[in-house]
Structure 1
Amino acid sequence: MSESTVQFDRKILTATLSLLGLGLVMVASASVTIADSSTGQPLYFFIRQLVFAVIGIMAAWVVISTRLSVWQRMAPQLLMGGVFLLVLILIPGVGREVNGSARWLPLGPVNVQVAELIKLFAVLYIADFLQRHHGQLHNSFLKVMAPLMLLGVAALLLLMQPDMGSIVVIMATVLAMLFLGGARLDVFGALISVFAGLFALLVWIAPYRLQRLQSFMDPWADPFGSGFQLTQALIAFGRGDWFGVGLGSSMQKLFYLPEAHTDFLYSIVAEELGLLGASAVLILFCILIWRALAIGRAAELSGQIFGAQVAYGIGIWLGIQACVNIGVNMGALPTKGLTLPLMSYGGSSLVIACVAIALLLRVDMETRQPEKAAARVRR
Structure 2
Amino acid sequence: MKRLSERLSTAHQPFDGWLLLSALTLMLVGWVMVTSASTEVASGLTGNPFYFSIRHGFFVLLAIATGYAVLWVPIGWWRVNGLLLLGVAFFLLVLVLIVGREVNGSTRWLSIPGVPVNLQPSEIAKLCLIAYMAGYLERYLPLVRKTWGAFLRPLLVTGVLALLLILEPDYGSVVVMTGCVMVMLLMAGAPMWRFLLLMVLLAALGALLAVAEPYRMARLTSFSDPWADQFASGYQLTQALIAYGRGHWFGLGLGNSVQKLFYLPEAHTDFVFAVIAEELGLLGAMAVVGLFALLVIRAMAVGRRAELAKLPFAAYLSYGIALIIGGQAFINIAVSTGMLPTKGLTLPLLSYGGSSLVISAVMVALLLRVDIETRQAARRSRSTAPKTARTKTPTRSQGERA
Q: TM range, normalised to the smaller chain?
A: over 0.9
1:216 and 2:223 matched? yes
What is the distance in 2 between the residues matched to 1:8 and 1:47? Answer: 31
Q: 2:111 is matched with which residue: 106, 109, 131?
A: 106
Deviations 1:231-250 (A, max 9, x none): 00000000000000000000
- Deviation at residue 372 of structure 1 after TM alignment: 8.2
Amino acid at match of 1:101: S
Which position in structure 2 is the counterpart of 1:287? Answer: 294
Deviations 1:179-227 (A, max 9, x none): 1112111122222222222222211212111110100000000111111
Which position in structure 2 is the counterpart of 1:358? Answer: 365
Q: Secondary structure at the match of 2:34?
A: helix
Aligned ranges for residues 38-117 of structure 1 at < 5 Å?
A: 38-91=45-98, 94-108=99-113, 109-117=116-124
Runs of 4+ in 1 over 6 A off after TM superposition: none
Out of 151-160 and 337-346, give the one that drifted further: 151-160
Q: Secondary structure at the match of 1:318?
A: helix
Structure 1 vs Structure 2 CA RMSD: 1.4
Deviations 1:320-378 (A, max 9, x none): 100000001111111100000000001000000000011111111111123889xxxxx
Deviations 1:40-87 (A, max 9, x none): 111111111111111111111121111111011111111111111111
What is the distance in 1 between the residues matched to 2:184 and 2:117? Answer: 32
TM-score normalised to the size of structure 2? 0.89
Q: 2:273 is matched with which residue: 263, 266, 274?
A: 266
Given that 1:96 and 1:106 are in contact with CA atoms closer than 8 Å, whether structure 2 keeps it comes out as yes
Which position in structure 1 is the counterpart of 2:398? Answer: none
Given that 1:137 and 1:184 are in contact with CA atoms closer than 8 Å, whether structure 2 keeps it comes out as no
What is the distance in 2 between the residues matched to 1:6 and 1:114? Answer: 35
Identity over aligned pairs, percent: 52
1:173 and 2:180 matched? yes
Out of 258-267 and 223-232, give the one that drifted further: 223-232
Q: 1:139 is matched with which residue: 146, 163, 172?
A: 146
Given that 1:6 and 1:369 are in contact with CA atoms closer than 8 Å, whether structure 2 keeps it comes out as no
Which position in structure 2 is the counterpart of 1:122? Answer: 129
Q: Secondary structure at the match of 1:105?
A: strand
What is the distance in 2 between the residues matched to 1:68 and 1:136? Answer: 24
Structure showing greater Rg: 2
Amino acid at match of 1:38: L
Out of 141-150 and 262-271, give the one that drifted further: 141-150
1:233 and 2:213 matched? no
Q: 1:348 is matched with which residue: 343, 349, 355?
A: 355
Amino acid at match of 2:105: G
What is the distance in 2 between the residues matched to 1:123 and 1:192? Answer: 21
What is the distance in 2 between the residues matched to 1:222 and 1:72? Answer: 50
Q: Secondary structure at the match of 1:103?
A: strand
Unaligned runs of 5+ in 1: 374-379
Unaligned runs of 5+ in 2: 1-11, 381-402
